[in-house]
Structure 1
Amino acid sequence: MASATVGSDGTFSVTLPAAQANGQTLTVTATDAAGNVSPAATITAPDTTAPTEPSSVQLSDDGKTISGKGEAGSTVAIKDADGNTLASATVGSDGTFSVTLPAAQTNGQTLSVSATDAAGNVSPAATITAPDTTAPAAPTGVAVSDDGATVTGKAEAGSIVTIKDADGITIGSVTVAA
């Protein structure tokens, strides 16, 4: 509780014991020398506190839904590695959210999940990486050198190309360059 005496010009200033910076509702009354208390004036402190980072963030096995926990009433945004918003949803009163993505994330994509409260304060982002469950496309442009010692072609960067003989025995492999 904080109080101050109103100055002769009718103004007052009260220093609060703790900053009110998260949308708290405050009431202000005036009491005269006879002890009469005015009706309360109600004010709301500004909300300058960002929500905490969303927690327990999970991607469904099919890569289409992200769920987790966040500040009730905040808006959760799911963004791709380039910062494009893929989807958003409001965190429920129980503090949980579930967001359906427009396309399945099943190829190692990195996604960020942040919450924005009604005052526009943005939380730190939680990061989640989708599992890579998509097989690479078949190698293309595959050719054997004239001397039979080298196989060349194109395949997904970072994948491992394996060369097998007619009996299924591996006779060579290489990691595809970027």
Structure 2
Amino acid sequence: MKTFDIDVIARKTAEKSVLQAQGNMALTLTAPSVVEIHGQAQDVVKYIRQGKDLLIYMKDGSVIRCNGYFVEDAQSHAHSELVFNDNNQLTHISFDDVAEGTDLSATPLVAHSTPIDSVEPFMAQEGVLSDLPWGWIAGAAVGGGALGALLSSGGGHSKTKVIDNTQPVEKATPTFTVTDNQGDKQGLVATQSTIDDNTPTFSGTGEPGATIQIKDGEGNTIASTMVDSKGTWTVNLPTQTDGAHSWSVTQIDGSASTSAGSIDVTIVTAKAQLVVNTIAGDNQLNADEHQADVTISGLSQQLAEGTPVTVSINGKNYTASVDSSGQWSVVMPAEDAKALADGSWTVTVTATDSTGNHITQT
């Protein structure tokens, strides 16, 4: 991904912040400003409005988020402006008016490009800025990650003040949870769990505007999303294969990368089944069989060895376990068989698979 130099110039005071980022970047505008991106407007794929924020999607896959871009000054009604500077030409980007929408709704913007000679028309025109060197505002940069402020004082004198901001800025530590949305057992997933949802939902918190990446055990990014303005995020994984998986979550904010941790799960989407063998050879108890122990047995599919199986008949339950070949068997004692009156009786067999789904067969 490209490295972007971005100048943020407050329209009222001309205070200038110089930012640099590779990949995704989020900047917060505390007042209407000129956001000057050192690059070409042609490198943009699309512009999105989300609440008061502007999201700029670049061709290299990175996203520049300008928090508070659409906030207007209460007195002057001035708002932020976007300018691209390719070192040969300044290009002003304006947008058609669009309703604000909710904080989470994403609205595509229609953009218009206009060549300009200077950002001077966007700046406050009071005496405090009357003698500013506009070439500096349009193109100069302050190196080393410092903050440069160009302020004009009375009497036509101006000065440049450099404020060190090279110390690390505290960022929100990312968190995440995983949710299974399939089958009988749904909800939050603990590590080492077995689930039947092959597109589980990851959600959590993080630094607004940062990118969240979900990686597989080989370090490949399999899903990504952006933390919204409220500091929350959510994303579903693409369809995953059955078997063991290890997923990790990382927050990318500019050049900073912060791990949120990892989780190990096993996915099983194959449906478990129970089969009841024919009882007493013909599903009928003759006079002799009615006086003796009765074996009730069957087979299972996709049930682990040792899985409990419950057989219910005439209000009584008998418990067995699935063996290594998937078979199970219980014995109904003779006294219980004798208690069965003439007529039809229903045998119900139940079990719970490794993902928490309840299996029933009659």
TM-score, normalised to structure 1, is: 0.49
Structure with a larger share of its residues in strand? 2
Larger radius of gyration: 2
Which of structures 1 and 2 has the larger relative contact order (alpha carbons within 8 angstroms, sep 6+)?
Answer: 1
Larger fraction in helix: 2
TM-score, normalization by structure 2: 0.27
